Amino acid sequence: MTSAPIEERVRARVITDDPLYRAIPVALRFAPAEPLAVRIVFPPGLSPEGTENEWVFSLTLLETGLQSPTGSGDVRVWPAGRVQTVVELHSPEGVAVVQFDSAALRRFLRRTYAAARPHHPDGGTDGPPVSAQGMPRARR
C-alpha cells in the first residue's frame, strides 16, 4: 500500500533589505515515491517567467536545518532564534532568503515520516525510531 502525497500550505516571509517583509503562501510537498526529497513550491509571479517556482532538496537537509546551520551550494537552512527557520535558495538569477515558522516545518516533517514508514499488518512500523517530537532518532 502506497501512502498519498503530502502537501502542507504555510505562510513564509521573503527577507529583503526592506524593513517590511513580504508574506507569501508556500506549499511544502512530499511524495512517498521520493522518500528522501521534499519540495518547496512558491506561487506564480515570484519567478521571472511568472510560473510556479519549485525547489527540491533533501528531507535530511530540512530536518537538520531546524536545529543547526546546514547546506552548501543551492540550498542552505538554519534556525533563526527559537521559532523561525531560514531557507536560503541560490540560483543563477540570484539569492532568495525565506523565513518559515519552525513549528509549521516540524508539523510537515512529522507527517512525512508517518507517510514514509512502511506499515505492517500487525500495526507496527518498519521505519526509523521516532523521537518525542516526531523526528527520527539515529539508531545506535
Choose the weakest-confidence range: 37-41, 65-69, 73-77, 131-135: 131-135
| CA dist list (Å): 117 to 33, 56, 89 | 12, 21, 29
The tens digit of pLDDT for each residue in 32-58 reads 889 899 999 988 766 545 556 899 999
pTM of the model: 0.77
Choose the weakest-confidence range: 53-67, 68-82, 100-114, 122-136: 122-136
What are the residue ranges spanned by the domains of the chain? 6-116
- Domain 6-116: give its CATH code: 2.30.31.20
